[in-house]
Chain A
Amino acid sequence: MFDHTVSELAALLRDRKASSVELAAVFLERIERLGGGLNAFITVDAEKALASARAADARLARGEATPLTGIPIAHKDLFCAKGWRTTCGSRMLADWISPYDAHVVEQFDRAGAVLVGKTNMDEFAMGSSNESSFFGPARNPWDPSRVPGGSSGGSAAAVAARLVPAATGTDTGGSIRQPASLTGTSGIRPTYGAVSRYGMVAFASSLDQGGAFGKSAEDLALMLNVMAGFDERDSTSVERPKEDYARDLARPLAGLRVGLPKQYFTADLAPDVAACVMAGAEELERQGATLVEVSLPNQALAVPVYYVIAPAEASSNLSRFDGARYGHRAAAYADLGDMYRKSRAEGFGAEVRRRILVGTYVLSHGYYDAYYLQAQKVRRLIARDFAEAFASCDVIAGPAAPTVAFPIGEKTSDPVQMYLEDLYTISVNLAGLPGLSVPCGFGQGGLPVGLQLIGNYFDEARMLNVAHRYQQATDWHRRSPPGYGS
């Protein structure tokens, strides 16, 4: 049962072949037995989970179920959930219990999903390996000595290891797509503004976007159907009609134009990854799609631009963590300035401190124009590159990460190497576009590789259609890590 997709589990529940309480018990038992070694969760609450499973069973009995009613899920630990610890993977919020629900959490509650726990993550979503978590690194179920990617590493590892059928994540520079690629899961980051950021603790507000992990594109569509939609509490949430992201899943791919950016297929891309990605593209071609080369001329500037804009916003977003009202406060301090310095120095880890310093620097008087303003200009060029590419294709395909999962500790001493993990994902965030990653084979060491699909604004249904058709013809997404399958 744990190997089922959300849609399969929903069918079991609907047909009374299983109850939500049974489902919760199955996954809670797996978390208990297998979760510890992966460190995928920061908080698991069996009691709360079983209570909502019972409520879900009652709702199923009343015939008022949605496709997510009774399905166990996990939230990345930066979605505020009322009564739950919401740590953001940081010592700063290690003991903070949220008094309110994020929009996303509220939506899943309304749908009747069963929250079993909060997943591990890079501290404040800053990282590509989950190693910056105050709670220790999450591990990749395909090889526990390797990273699951990040920052949504806990969600990716949990879904890959079948500890939950689906989970939420957030993607600021690749934090859903890269871990999805490294763990053999499916993950989607929707268009900026599609999912409300209300209650999603901010890293870089103009780049952050909530999304989901699942075992299939179809599950991602079901997740998006719950998560996405206008929310007046987020001014950047886009007001548009609710849509059914599953509506086009079965559409044939004949006539589809798939763009392959020439800048993605260079020496920066590991050959094993390149081979899997090209094979994936060829499968689309086999189904009637046309492959066309496209160009993203400013692709090389994406990482540097990102590492100006994201830290700038983060330096300001994280100012509220000052030890005054909530969160970590140093035990002893001489005066107000000392309280700030000690509380923040103790509460934040090295990577968060580094980005706050970088962000503070680029916004400082005399540097603002040269860094921040310049980065914003290039950001517009990057968005224009995509607009021009989409003139000749419907979706863009490429790698989601330059390599397969790397060993824990390999890149922690070299931040720039770590930043390059997001080489193929970051420009999507800068442009505000939607992107997803689906498993497309195995590279070196039998480790999974993801195929990234990038769509035009609000073209998630089409991307999911392409991914779903791909998954109808392949079974990479059904493979489970040794020891975690059935």
Chain B
Amino acid sequence: MSGAAGMGWEIVIGLETHAQLSTASKIFSGASTAFGAAPNTQACAVDIALPGVLPVLNRGAVERAIRFGLAVGARIAARSVFARKNYFYPDLPKGYQISQYELPVVSGGFLDIVVEGLEKRVNLTRAHLEEDAGKSLHEDFHGMSGIDLNRAGTPLLEIVTEPEMRSAKEAVAYAKALHSLVRWIGICDGNMQEGSFRCDANVSVRPAGSTTLGTRCEIKNLNSFRFLEKAIEYEARRQVELIGDGGTVRQETRLWDPQKGETRSMRSKEDAHDYRYFPDPDLLPLAIAPEWIESVRATMPELPAAMRARFVADYGLAPVDATTLTASKALATYFEEAVRHAGGEPRACANWVLGELSALLNRLEAEADASPVGPAALAGLVKRVLDGTVSGKAAKEVFEAMAAGEGDADAIIAARGLTQISDAGAIEAIVDQVLAANAKLADDWRAGKEKALNALVGQVMKASQGKANPAQAGEILRKKLG
């Protein structure tokens, strides 16, 4: 809960996200969309807007918009219209951007998110297709600007939410869920460093309990989830303080400055362009027949929400764990593979995937499908824990060794002698030694200090070099002490 909301103010947030669609060529030309080419080498006659050239719509971009619409339960328009958004800027070669205005391809739909254990539905207003602009480079040109038009004409899906989020954390949860979804359904690579997934946040504040919206500011340049959270928190605080000091919020576009950790004014509403939208006469209205939608539907994967529900219902996982496991398709697939190899045991598998495996992946900054410990290998280890061959503690050591490439679980357990002592006689002998050496602890336990037993189990583990089955050791101790 941010400071602003804590002081009797409510934050209202809507997000506009630009997801770059993963087509090989641009939305209205045949030029490549690959990232990182030398400036202006991937801009054809259409992209640089030579006189006389015309746009031709890439059906792959439309198909991806349909996939998105299906994934969020939205309406897919049978007829939508491309419109020109007119403004002058050197990285906008035609002097207008082809977008959709009054009739977008996708409207409605929703995304369910989980914030601090609570579920929330974020409704979407619309999603529309448009082309990206080029890039202006203001450094390295001795007082001049360089223009790189490689990005010009790259297909984007702009996804707009209703103003329904009430904290920076909710906004981040939504953005992460959306980020996961677009990758899940294969329409966007989600690479935020390369600008494939960019968020703008509309932020306003109002007194708690108020039903009218405050004046909003749009914050741009939020290219990480961390910046998104910080910028919203900063902006909400700024607006609350401004109002608290007797000022009023001006509707404006603000830029997030990650160095200073603040938002600053970019342009006010009065300076805003009149974009003079009108239907692009070079493009026919986009017609999407029901058959096209059905053929796309047939290729849709199981969606994260459905999979999450299945994990809870069929595997008995906690909703929060099911949410985390379905945060990425790679992780969810990994988990299901592990369960299959373990012959069931979803909870144990989930614990390992969410615990050791996720820690490892974080450390390596890798996705689950690139994990050095595969789902079959992890399942092998889980089985050894469940059948008592190794202790939980030793299993972690085995996991690290697996990650280091030392072989499968059985080989490592054997090589490192990590087999757990579950022989009652052997444990009893150790317990006797421990009790002889720790009379004080034994007395403490008898005097009612329950914790003393844990200390004694610890001593047994130490004496057995960690190999004794701790549960068994506890049982034997109780028997002997009692």
Cα-based distance from A436 to B360 in the complex (angstroms): 76
Contact (Cβ within 8 A) A236 B282:
yes
CB of A474 closer than 8 Å to a CB of B:
no
A199 touches B88 (CB 8 A): no
Segment touching A, from B48-56, B308-316, B454-462: B48-56
Q: Which of A39-47, A49-57, A362-370, A396-404 lies at the interface with chain B?
A: A362-370
Chain A residue with Cβ nearest B275:
A365
At the interface, yes or no: B57 with Cβ under 8 Å from chain A? Answer: yes
A388 to B11, CA, bound (A): 59
Chain A residues lying within 8 Å of B284, measured Cβ to Cβ, are: 235-236
CB contact under 8 A between A368 and B278, given known A102-B52, A233-B54: yes
Q: Evaluate contact between B88 and A316: CB separation under 8 angstroms.
A: no
Q: Nearest-CB distance from B6 to chain A (Å)?
A: 40
Interface string of B16-52 (1 = CB under 8 A from A): 0000000000000000000000000000010011111
Evaluate contact between A198 and B278: CB separation under 8 angstroms.
Answer: no
CA distance A212 to B281 in the complex (A): 23
Q: Which A235-274 residues have a C-beta within 8 angstroms of B?
A: 235-236
A325 (CB) vs chain B CBs: closest residue: B48
Interface residues of A in 81-109 (CB under 8 A from B): 86, 88, 93, 96, 98-100, 102
Contact yes or no, B51 A197, CB < 8 A: no
**A283 CA to B45 CA, complexed, in Å:** 50
Q: For A88, list chain B residues within 8 Å (CB).
A: 51
- On whether the beta carbons of B52 and A198 are closer than 8 Å, the reply is yes
Contact A363 B52 (CB under 8 A): no
Q: How far is the CA of A372 from the CA of B276 in the complex (A)?
A: 11
Residue of A with least CB distance to B147: A324
How distant is B240 from chain A, measured CB to nearest CB, in Å?
A: 32
Q: Which residue from chain A places its CB closest to the CB of B51 in the assembled complex?
A: A201
Query: Once bound together, how far apart are the Cα atoms of A79 and B274, in whole Å?
Result: 32
Q: How far is the CB of B78 from chain A (nearest CB, A)?
A: 18
A190-215 residues at the B interface, CB under 8 angstroms: 197-202, 204-206
Cβ B52 vs Cβ A320 within 8 A: no
Q: What separation, in Å, do the CA atoms of A336 and B143 have in the docked complex?
A: 12
Given A236-B284, A368-B278, check contact A86 B51 (CB 8 Å).
yes
- Over the window 310-331 of chain A, the binary record of Cβ atoms lying under 8 Å from chain B Cβ atoms (1 yes, 0 no) is 0011011011111011100000
- Confirm or deny: B96 has a beta carbon within 8 angstroms of a beta carbon on chain A: yes
Q: How far is the CB of B193 from chain A (nearest CB, A)?
A: 28
Number of interface residues, chain B, beta carbon within 8 A = 28
Using A316-B84, A319-B88 as known contacts, say yes or no to A235 and B51 having CB atoms under 8 A apart: no
Q: What distance in Å separates the Cβ of B48 from its nearest Cβ neighbour in chain A? A: 6
Name the B residues within 8 Å of A200 (CB-CB).
52
Summed over the interface, the residue pairs from A and B with CB atoms below 8 Å come to a total of: 96
Assuming A205-B282, A365-B274, is B53 touching A325 (CB within 8 A)?
Answer: no
Chain A residue, CB-CB nearest to B274: A365
> In the bound complex, do residue A363 and residue B278 qualify as a contact, i.e. CB atoms below 8 Å apart?
yes
The answer to whether B49 and A320 have CB atoms under 8 Å apart is yes
Q: Are A363 and B88 in contact (CB under 8 A)?
A: no
Over the window 292-322 of chain A, the binary record of Cβ atoms lying under 8 Å from chain B Cβ atoms (1 yes, 0 no) is 0000000000000000000011011011111
A98 and B276 alpha carbons, distance in the complex (Å): 30
Is the CB–CB distance between A316 and B51 below 8 Å?
Answer: no
Taking CB atoms, residues of chain A closer than 8 Å to B96 are 316, 319
- Answer yes or no: B94 CB below 8 A from chain A CBs: yes
Chain B: minimal CB distance from A124 (Å)? 10
Contact between A235 and B57, CB atoms less than 8 A apart: yes
B95 interface residue (CB < 8 Å to A): yes
Nearest-CB distance from B58 to chain A (Å)?
Answer: 12
Smallest beta-carbon distance A307→chain B, Å: 16
Query: How far is A99 from B50 in the complex, measured between Cα atoms in Å?
Result: 9
A27 → chain B, closest Cβ, in Å?
Answer: 26
Residues of B within 8 A of A442 (CB): none
Q: How far is the CA of A165 from the CA of B51 in the complex (A)?
A: 28
Q: Does A8 contact B (CB under 8 A)?
A: no
Let me know if A197 and B54 touch, CB within 8 A.
yes
**Residues from chain B with Cβ under 8 Å of A336 in the complex:** 90
Known: A319-B95, A319-B96. Is A372-B54 also a contact (CB below 8 A)?
no
B230-248 interface code vs A (CB 8 A; 1 in, 0 out):
0000000000000000000
Minimum Cβ distance to chain A for residue B260 (Å) = 26
User: CB of A186 within 8 A of chain B?
Assistant: no
User: Does B93 belong to the interface (CB within 8 Å)?
Assistant: yes
Nearest residue, chain B, Cβ from A363: B276
How far does the alpha carbon of A1 sit from the alpha carbon of B132 in the complex, in Å? 55
- Answer whether A363 and B86 are a contact pair too, CB < 8 Å, given A100-B50, A235-B282: yes
Instruction: Give the CA-CA distance A363 to B86 in the complex, in Å.
Output: 10
Beyond contacts A313-B281, A363-B278: 16 other A-B pairs, Cβ-Cβ < 8 A, are: A102-B52, A197-B54, A198-B54, A201-B52, A202-B52, A202-B282, A233-B54, A233-B56, A235-B57, A236-B282, A315-B86, A319-B96, A320-B49, A325-B49, A363-B86, A364-B274
Residues of B participating in the A interface, judged by any CB pair closer than 8 Å: 45, 48-57, 84, 86, 88, 90, 93-96, 147, 274, 276-278, 281-284
- What are the nearest 7 A-B pairs in CB distance? A319-B95, A206-B281, A363-B276, A205-B281, A199-B52, A320-B49, A201-B51
List 24 contacting pairs A-B, 8 Å CB cutoff, sorted by A: A98-B52, A100-B45, A197-B54, A200-B52, A205-B281, A232-B56, A235-B56, A235-B57, A235-B283, A235-B284, A236-B284, A318-B95, A319-B96, A320-B49, A320-B51, A320-B95, A325-B48, A325-B93, A326-B50, A360-B276, A363-B276, A363-B278, A365-B274, A368-B276
